[in-house]
Each structure stands twice: as structure tokens, then as C-alpha cells.
């Protein structure tokens, strides 16, 4: 499967019986206005945005920041350009571990255990397993973060407050892209956008982010819920 469309489609219930379709490749993925503090603009739409090639010093800055993250937790809002929307909590422990807990009525759980990346549909009790390195999550969960080894930076934009780095997989550049958005001063991951080969964008924006916190190891374990375990 393609790098940025590794996950299939999943459905999120909204407003009772209404369903929206979203791309789960967003194990990362722009957000509602509530997702970002008013003091920071995550979109480089203003005239101060500068676009061009990324220099090695900036690459080093981003790689070092990501590698220095030990643990992270945040609230997130996820939206898709095809109309889907969801929110929940993100937990991350580097290297290799991540958990997306979607708020009801969504019935989706995404867990990276350190060896597998699992997409779990609670409604039908169906887990699907992926290699972490074959998902966009692998970029920031890797022990040695690299923006040049397996991926290629194809666009870089900087404003007075943010940096946006768009990357494609070197081995399959037509498979879509992932864009990481960072706040500067202090450096912080704020958002990512996954664009699949069809041009559908799924964006995740983080807020209430805390780094270096103690997380329960059980968050990064996966256990299937059987019918007799349901409350």
C-alpha cells in the first residue's frame, strides 16, 4: 500500500445516525478555530509567509526537537477536506509509541505499541495491523528522526511564528505527502496534514500540549475487546 494512504477509510458517527468518511492515514493529520490559541496562526496565508528551500540548520533544529521529545500528551481536533471531523486525546512516548483516543461517538482507536501500529474499529471489533515505518507516524516516532533519509522535503514555509515542512516518501513520491507544522520560540509540534494520492487532506491540530509528562504504560498496549467484556 502507498505510504500516505496506508490506512483504509473509516467511518465516524456524527449527529446520531449520520456518518462521515475520513482517511485514517491521519494518524496525524487542520483544525477548528478552537484548536489553536489566538496568539498563533497555523496557516501561512498572510503576506509574511516565506516559501523556499529548507536549509540544513532548520532540518537539524526540527530533527533535534523531535528526538528530544520523550513523552507528550495533547487534545486534538481532526478534520478532513471531504467533510469528516473528530476530536480526542493523543498520547506519545518516543520512540515508537502513540495512542489516539477518539471521543464518542467515534468508535476508532489508533495505537502504536512500539512494534505494530494498530487501527481498531471498536464497533465491529476489527483490528488491522501495520508496520509503524509504513505510516506517517513513523517519521516522528523513529528513534533517529530524519527528514532526509526516507523522505524528501518538497516545500518549506516560514512565518514569524511557525514553520511548515511538507515531505514525500522518496521511494513513492506519488503516494501523497505529510506536512508538519511547528511553532517556534518555543519549538513545539502543533499540527500535521496528510494528503493522500486523491488530494484528500486530513489534518490534526494539537492543543493543551504537555511534554515530558509521566504516562501509563498501559496506554500503549492493545487488547481486543470481546463481546462479553463490553459494559
Which domain CATH number covers 112?
A: 2.50.20.10
> From CA 98, how far away is CA 74, in angstroms rounded?
12
Assigned domain for 65 exists? yes
Provide the pLDDT for residue 22.
41
Assigned domain for 176 exists? yes
Assigned domain for 221 exists? no
Identify the three-state secondary structure at position 214.
coil
Ranges of the chain with pLDDT below 70: 1-50, 224-231
Q: Can you say whether the dihedral through the CA atoms of 15, 20, 109, 29 is positive or negative? A: negative
**Domains identified in the chain, total number:** 1
Question: How far is C-alpha 153 from the chain's CA centre?
Answer: 17
DSSP E strands in the chain: the ranges are: 9-14, 18-23, 50-52, 71-80, 85-93, 97-102, 108-113, 117-121, 126-130, 151-158, 162-169, 177-183, 188-195, 201-211
Identify the three-state secondary structure at position 26.
helix
Provide the pLDDT for residue 51.
73
Please name the residues in contact with 88: beta carbons below 8 A apart, sequence gap of 6 or more.
Answer: 75, 76, 78, 100, 101, 102, 103, 106
Assigned domain for 214 exists? no
Cell of 27: 494518524
Q: Are residues 52 and 165 in contact, defined by beta-carbon separation less than 8 angstroms? A: no
Report which of 215, 219, 145 is spatially closest to residue 182, judged by C-alpha positions.
Answer: 145
Q: Are strands 18-23 and 9-14 parallel, antiparallel or unpaired?
A: antiparallel
> From CA 178, how far away is CA 135, in angstroms rounded?
10
Assigned domain for 231 exists? no
> From CA 200, how far away is CA 101, in angstroms rounded?
22
Give backbone dihedrals phi and psi of 148, rounded to 5 degrees, phi first: -130, -20
Provide the pLDDT for residue 48.
54
Provide the pLDDT for residue 19.
33
Assigned domain for 12 exists? yes
Provide the pLDDT for residue 225.
57
Assigned domain for 67 exists? yes
Provide the pLDDT for residue 18.
33
Identify the three-state secondary structure at position 145.
coil
Query: Domain range for residue 66?
Result: 3-29+49-206
Cell of 206: 494539537
φ/ψ region of 212 (left if φ > 0, alpha if ψ in -120 to 50, else beta) reads left
Provide the pLDDT for residue 132.
86
Provide the pLDDT for residue 38.
32
Assigned domain for 39 exists? no
Amino acid at each position: 500500500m502507498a505510504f500516505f494512504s496506508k490506512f483504509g477509510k473509516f467511518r465516524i458517527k456524527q449527529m446520531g445516525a449520520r456518518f462521515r468518511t475520513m482517511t485514517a492515514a491521519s494518524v496525524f493529520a487542520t483544525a477548528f478555530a478552537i484548536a489553536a490559541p489566538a496568539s498563533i496562526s497555523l496557516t501561512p496565508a498572510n503576506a509574511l509567509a516565506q516559501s523556499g528551500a529548507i536549509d540544513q540548520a532548520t532540518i537539524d533544529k526540527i530533527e533535534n526537537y523531535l528526538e528530544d521529545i520523550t513523552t507528550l500528551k495533547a487534545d486534538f481536533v481532526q478534520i478532513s477536506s471531504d467533510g469528516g471531523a473528530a476530536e480526542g486525546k493523543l498520547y506519545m512516548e518516543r520512540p515508537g509509541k502513540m495512542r489516539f483516543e477518539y471521543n464518542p461517538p467515534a468508535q476508532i482507536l489508533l495505537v502504536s505499541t512500539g512494534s505494530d501500529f494498530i487501527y481498531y474499529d471498536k464497533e465491529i471489533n476489527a483490528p488491522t495491523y501495520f508496520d509503524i515505518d509504513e505510516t506517517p507516524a513513523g517519521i516522528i516516532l523513529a528513534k533517529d528522526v530524519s527528514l532526509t533519509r526516507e523522505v524528501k522535503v518538497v516545500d518549506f514555509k516560514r512565518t514569524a511564528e511557525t514553520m511548515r515542512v511538507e515531505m514525500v516518501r522518496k521511494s513513492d513520491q506519488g503516494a501523497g505527502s505529510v506536512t508538519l507544522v511547528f511553532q517556534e520560540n518555543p519549538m513545539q509540534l502543533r499540527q500535521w496534514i496528510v494528503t493522500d494520492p486523491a488530494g484528500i487532506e486530513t489534518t490534526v491540530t494539537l492543543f493543551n500540549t504537555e511534554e515530558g509528562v509521566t504516562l501509563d504504560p498501559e496506554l500503549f498496549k492493545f487488547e481486543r475487546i470481546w463481546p462479553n467484556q463490553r459494559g
